[in-house]
Amino acid sequence: MTTQQHPEAVLKDGVYYHEFDIVIVGAGGAGMRAAIEAGPGARTAVITKLYPTRSHTGAAQGGMAAALANVEEDSWEWHTFDTVKGGDYLVDQDAAEILAREAIDAVIDLENMGLPFNRTPEGKIDQRRFGGHTADHGKTPVRRACYAADRTGHMILQTLFQNCVKLGINFFNEYYALDLITVKDADGNTQVAGVVAYELATGDLHVFHSKAVIFATGGFGKIYKTTSNAHTLTGDGVGIVWRKGLPLEDIEFFQFHPTGLAGLGILLTEGARGEGAILRNASGERFMERYAPTIKDLAPRDIVARCMVKEVLEGRGAGPHKDYVYLDCTHLGAEVLETKLPDITEFARTYLGVDPVTEPVPVMPTAHYAMGGIPTTNNGEVLQNNDTVVPGLYAAGECACVSVHGANRLGTNSLLDINVFGKRSGRNAVEYVQTADFVPLPEDPAKEVREMLEGLRSNTGTERIAVLRKKLQEEMDANAQVFRTEETLTNVMGTIHDLRQRFKNVHIDDKGKRFNTDLLEAVELGFLLDLAEIVAYAARNRRESRGGHMREDYPDRNDEQYMQHTMAYLTGDPHSPDPEDHIKLDWKPVVFTKNDKGELNYPPMERKY
């Protein structure tokens, strides 16, 4: 039978069944860019636990990289070099070339969709400097970031949503995807049959039967306490794929953005330093001149974050507790701050009571971006091992690992990533569904989700979700943040095991079904515990320092042993005390490209700036 509330659905045994060619999970930049590509060629649905324009893409401030050369000489080869070098050579170089080559069309696509970029006096898209982006292979900073004030992500999100509406894309807003429906074929290979989602407004379960699924669910920064990530970034899509026995790639690499508001983590865009803002210690010294004399404050984020923490640890921090440094924007003037950086100016005034026009802003690194995630090909196809894809399963954006960011993502490459690889995943999903058949659903596809939710609702334990989440985040901040050691990572894994045991006894006060945020946060905590453990375990296994992963006990990069991607697999009961009992770690080669002479285009070298 069909229902008035869901006219396209069939109600069976209390579960709504929908049928689409392609189901996209997530309505941020990657999800909606995929939808724009997929919608005209296939019946497409977008499932999102937030209203689309509340997605975290809207928090991205600074810009989107593309070698347009509108302001200064530039080339996509230089952009590729910066991406590879910035990622500390763990970047798959074929993916980096795709990113840099297709960046120009990606920006023009958005311009044609109506995005209001800042303009030069000649009417071209304006561009500004950003960390790690250089001309002529590192010789000098270059203006490569296309921007819309300091609201670039917000503008992209609004523009993509308006174009999705124009195309008539089917949105299922405030539907929380909780399971990927998979079946095994005769040879034991994974096949995709759809998604199970929980409708927040009613508590109803929905089965979306589809030929293809695209995950675009964003990151998982809420494993940390100090983070620029929104409360909803709990790694749902990454966690779902992990629980299905599919691998995660380079999960130990997490980026800590240098300029979060001290004590809060709210982001101040790198665009501020691109406009000329300067990092200073308590004595007013521009300390980045000592660490990166060529590009100073615009070194890659991992380098700047470590330098800031080092300044504090060595006693040069500012404030009553000497636990932060300053971002000095005062010399930029009110006009630049109010016109090109209005949001961060307001953030500093609102949250710290500091006016950037007249006084420096206290800042410290904040957990910002996951370089690792669901492993994919350059076409967005999800891998089930190093070289075999799951037919019909795709991923794009921060939840995916192409790997185009390697060990450290360059600023402005994230907004570029979601557009280039969101487009590619949508386009390739359409090609796939044109010849693919629906995989038959299992007898009760919503069974596991139903049992999980009812188990949480009916639990009579005494543990509180907020207490467990706070403990997890504080321990991750203390033991697995900018600097890590064998001891700190082992300690946090022990804490996570204890929290898993306590999680079995959580108490949900709200037993209802409508907008049950108590239940929602319990589910999210389960994903956070899974992902925090993998981050710590993979980080302990990588006994070197590279990009966003800094081991104080192994301070050097070790190309001979670790110039390869980490691949993590779930192999047993995650509640077992020893991660070795349920996590298997393997390796995957990094892709290097060569020129006509057979020489490496981008050979690993020392990262001097």
Determine the pLDDT at residue 9.
Answer: 87
The reply, when asked if residue 60 is annotated as ligand binding, is yes
The number of helices, as runs of H, and strands, as runs of E, in the chain is 16, 23
417 is in an annotated binding site: no
Exposed / middle / buried, residue 561 (Cβ in 10 Å: 0-12, 13-18, 19+): exposed
pLDDT for position 271: 87
Beta carbons within 8 Å of 349's beta carbon, 6+ residues apart: 355, 356
- Determine contact, residues 421/398, Cβ cutoff 8 Å: no
Tokens linked to 216: 């675009």
Q: Which domain holds residue 121?
A: 67-146
The one catalytic residue in 280, 301, 542, 557 is 301
* 9-to-210, 401, 553 alpha-carbon distances in Å: 13, 34, 56
Q: Are residues 49 and 79 in the same domain?
A: no
Domain identity same for 119 and 245: no
Q: Look at residue 315 in the predicted model and tell me its pLDDT.
A: 96
Do 45 and 157 lie in a common domain?
yes
Domain contains 4: no
Q: Do 353 and 293 share a structural domain?
A: yes
Percent of all residues in the chain with a pLDDT value above 90, rounded to a whole number: 91
Mean predicted lDDT score pLDDT of the chain: 95
pLDDT in tens, 122-179: 999 999 999 999 999 999 999 999 999 999 999 999 999 999 999 999 999 999 999 9
Straight-line distance from the first to the last Cα atom of the chain, in angstroms, rounded to the nearest whole number: 65
Dump pLDDT digits (tens) for 501-552: 999 999 999 988 899 999 999 999 999 999 999 999 999 999 999 999 999 9
Q: Is residue 280 part of a domain?
A: yes
Q: Quickly tell me which residue has 């590619």 as its tokens.
A: 424
CA dihedral 133, 136, 141, 143 (to 10 degrees): -70
Q: How far is CA 501 from CA 447, 487, 491, 497, 537, in A?
A: 24, 22, 16, 7, 18
26 annotated as ligand-binding:
yes
- Within this chain, do residues 164 and 225 fall inside the same structural domain, yes or no? yes
106 lies in the same domain as 206 = no
Annotation-wise, does 56 bind a ligand? yes
Q: What are phi and psi of 100, to 5 degrees?
A: -70, -40
Report the CATH number that the domain containing residue 344 is assigned in CATH: 3.90.700.10
The verdict on whether residue 546 carries a ligand-binding annotation is: no
> Is residue 178 within a helix (H) or strand (E), and if so which, with residue range?
strand 175-184
218 and 192 share a domain? Answer: yes
Domain holding 380: CATH number? Answer: 3.50.50.60
- Distance (Å, rounded) from C-alpha 411 to C-alpha 426? 24
pLDDT of residue 3: 53
Which residues in the chain land under pLDDT 70? 1-5
- The reply to whether 486 sits in an annotated binding site is no
CA distances to 223, 228, 229, 365 from 472, in Å: 7, 17, 16, 19
Q: Residue written as tokens 């009579």?
A: 460
- Based on the domain organization, do 482 and 461 belong to the same domain? yes
Let me know whether 223 and 332 are in one domain: no
Q: Structural domain tally of the chain?
A: 4
Q: How many CB atoms lie within 10 A of CB 201?
A: 12
Query: Which one of 127, 146, 165 terminates a domain?
Result: 146
State which H helix or E strand residue 98 sits in: helix 93-113
Residue 242 lies in a domain: yes
Ligand-binding annotation for 30, yes or no, is yes
Give the helix/strand (H/E) hosting 413: helix 413-433
Calpha distance 69→46 (Å, rounded) = 35
Residue 62 assigned as binding residue: yes
Q: Which helix (H) or strand (E) holds 280?
A: strand 278-280
Is 54 annotated in a binding site? The answer is yes
Are both 222 and 307 inside the same structural domain? no
Tokens 């910066």 appear where?
82
**Most distant pair of Cα atoms in the chain: their distance:** 72
C-alpha pair distances (Å), 298 with each of 130, 131, 245:
6, 4, 40
Residue 607 falls in the annotated catalytic set: no
**Bond from prior residue into 403 cis (ω within 30 degrees of 0):** yes
On whether both 486 and 525 belong to a single domain, the answer is yes
Q: State the CATH number of the domain containing residue 504.
A: 1.20.58.100
Residue 327 and residue 279 share a domain: yes
